[in-house]
Amino acid sequence: MNSAANANLHNLRPDAAISGAAMDRALPVNKYARRLRWAAVVTGVALVAAALYLSVPRGLSVPLSELSISTVTDGLFLDELVLRAQVVPAHQVLLDATESGRVDAVLVRDGDMLKEGALLYRLSNPQREQEVLQRASEVAQQQANLAMQRTALASAMAMQRRDVSTLAHELNKAENDLRRQQGLAAQGFVSNAVLEDARLRLAQQQRLLAQAKEDGNTELRTREQAVAEMERAVKGLSEGLAVVRRAASGLAARAPRDGQLSGFTLQVGSSVKPGDRLGRIDDIARFKLSGNVDEFYLARVQTGLTASLEAAGKTWPLAVSQRLPQVKDGRFGVELEFTQEMPPALQAGQSLDARIRLGSPAQARLLADGAFYADSGGAWVYVLSADSQSATRRSVRLGRRAAGRIEVLDGLAAGERVITSKVRPYGEAKTLNLKS
């Protein structure tokens, strides 16, 4: 077997033996080459990824055209509030329906100039009319009863006077009879028994007169009390009747004062009920300004603050006359009154710009006010780079806001540019890439 193997080895070709040896030597070299090739591939991928990363701008991309940008400046800070106010009548009387009913007649039109007492409209309300008649009947009945009570009282007083007069006369007769009997008894013409009878008759007449007076006075007090109660009842019914009649008079409404009728749209045939707002009467002889202020100024705007209005080439002084405490949609209402003369040709509903002075002017670093303040609370802003290619978020400290300007206390330098439009859409982004 070994001989056969050796014979086979001798029969092998020399070039075949050499190729096998070369393959055995080339095997480690191929493994190393493959490793180098893989390393080169990984390195290439990494370089490409790095190039792509560096070629893509970091941060949130924002179109520059969508932004409002303000430059920080140094200047005079006017501590005043610009208020877009509306001209309204200084005095208004609201017209609310006091009675329910159907509109029978409308005698005025919206915009008419009215005099106090002018008839505005008439309503019909059968139920109210029936109530007036019923109350009037009750008052008449009670007045008749009162008259009867007074008649009875007068009759009782007259009867008492007659009774007292009669008893007083009988008392005088008894007194005279006693004096005669005493004279006769002194002369011995009558006995003591007769004299005693005369005394007893006198005492009886005295008791009858006193009793009649007492009983008469008691009866008169009772009757007077009944009459007084009846008078109070009649007075109450009469007052009730007056109230019902006044209410019924609301069926024919009249103007409570002079002025211009506004917001009046009542139509014949329509129905109204108590409390319905039918319109108002405006005093157009004098006006005031009314507007809404951002709640940021709630603690600073107080009644009595001075204000001004530029109109007709002059400055017209004003004062804050009222500050409404209710805050709605982040704003509260204020009213301004003219402290001297008013500008000519003012019209109700006209819009004007008034300035409310909150403090004295002072030098300060200034930034334009904008929507960014509400989004950031004034704690940070986006500051543009020198080449306007990006904006970086920066913490700042801002102070007062007035007249469209914000006082910068710290964090910004004069000349820097800041995004003053809304910044809420950018979330917590530290950097913005600005696209032209």
**Average of pLDDT values for 286-297?**
89
> Which of 52-66, 97-111, 250-264, 282-296 has the least mean pLDDT?
52-66
pLDDT of 368 above 90: yes
Closest CA to 306 of 321, 292, 293: 321
CA distances from 403 to 49, 76, 81, 220, 307 (A): 52, 11, 5, 84, 13
Of 200, 234, 249, the residue that ends a domain is 249
As to burial, measured by CB atoms within 10 angstroms (0-12 exposed, 13-18 middle, 19+ buried), residue 145 is middle
DSSP 8-state symbol, 345: T
Q: Are residues 291 and 323 in the same domain?
A: yes
Phi, psi of 209, deg, nearest 5: -65, -45
Q: Are residues 149 and 234 in the same domain?
A: yes
* pLDDT recorded at residue 317: 92
Q: Which residue has the tokens 């108590």?
A: 274
Give how many domains the chain has, as a whole number. Answer: 4
* pLDDT recorded at residue 345: 81
Q: Does residue 14 lie in a domain region?
A: no
Tokens representing residue 9 in the block: 């080895």
Three-state DSSP class for 332? strand
pLDDT of 372 above 90: yes
Q: How many CA atoms lie within 13 A of 82 on its CB side?
A: 11
pLDDT tens figures, 388-411: 899 999 999 998 887 788 999 999
* pLDDT recorded at residue 129: 74
DSSP 8-state symbol, 58: P
HEC readout, 136-154: HHHHHHHHHHHHHHHHHHH
Beta bridge partners of 114: 259
> Which of 27-31, 92-96, 222-226, 315-319 has the least mean pLDDT?
27-31
In what side-by-side order are the strands of the sheet with 397-402?
73-77, 362-368, 405-410, 397-402
Helical segments of 120-191, H only: 126-187
Tokens representing residue 143 in the block: 């007045």
Of 358, 381, 401, the residue that ends a domain is 358
Q: Does residue 178 lie in a domain region?
A: yes
pLDDT of 17 above 50: no
Taking a C-beta distance cutoff of 8 angstroms, is the pair 421, 427 a contact?
no
d(CA 312, CA 341) in angstroms, rounded, equals: 13
Angle between the 192-249 and 126-187 helix axes, to the nearest 10 degrees? Answer: 170
Q: Are residues 132 and 243 in the same domain?
A: yes
Q: Are residues 349 and 371 in the same domain?
A: no
Q: Does residue 41 lie in a domain region?
A: no
Of 358, 392, 407, the residue that ends a domain is 358
d(CA 423, CA 272) in angstroms, rounded, equals: 51
Q: Are residues 141 and 239 in the same domain?
A: yes
Give the chain's mean pLDDT: 83
pLDDT of 56 above 60: no
Beta bridge partners of 124: 102
Q: Are residues 156 and 305 in the same domain?
A: no
Q: Does residue 275 lie in a domain region?
A: yes
d(CA 97, CA 276) in angstroms, rounded, equals: 5
pLDDT tier at 431, thresholds 50, 70, 90? very high
d(CA 138, CA 244) in angstroms, rounded, equals: 13
pLDDT of 419 above 90: yes
DSSP states of 260-312: EEES----TT-EE-TT-EEEEEE-TTSEEEEEEEEGGGTTT--TT-EEEEEET
Q: Are residues 165 and 244 in the same domain?
A: yes
Q: Are residues 275 and 299 in the same domain?
A: no
* pLDDT recorded at residue 380: 95
pLDDT tens figures, 306-363: 999 988 888 899 999 999 888 988 899 999 999 988 888 888 888 998 988 888 888 9
d(CA 69, CA 51) in angstroms, rounded, equals: 33
Q: Are residues 162 and 265 in the same domain?
A: no
d(CA 264, CA 130) in angstroms, rounded, equals: 29
What percent of the chain clears pLDDT 70, i.e. is strictly above it?
Answer: 86
* pLDDT recorded at residue 47: 61
Domain span at 342: 82-89+286-358
Task: Tell me which amino acid residue 173 is.
Answer: K
Q: Does residue 187 lie in a domain region?
A: yes
CATH number of the domain that 109 lies in?
2.40.50.100
Q: Are residues 169 and 318 in the same domain?
A: no
Q: Does residue 240 lie in a domain region?
A: yes
Q: Does residue 6 lie in a domain region?
A: no
pLDDT tens figures, 177-211: 889 888 888 888 888 888 888 889 989 999 998 99
Q: Are residues 369 and 390 in the same domain?
A: yes
What percent of the chain clears pLDDT 90, i.e. is strictly above it?
Answer: 24
Q: Does residue 16 lie in a domain region?
A: no
Taking a C-beta distance cutoff of 8 angstroms, is the pair 284, 260 a contact?
yes
CATH number of the domain that 425 lies in?
2.40.420.20
* pLDDT recorded at residue 41: 63
Q: Are residues 234 and 259 in the same domain?
A: no
Phi, psi of 338, deg, nearest 5: -70, 130
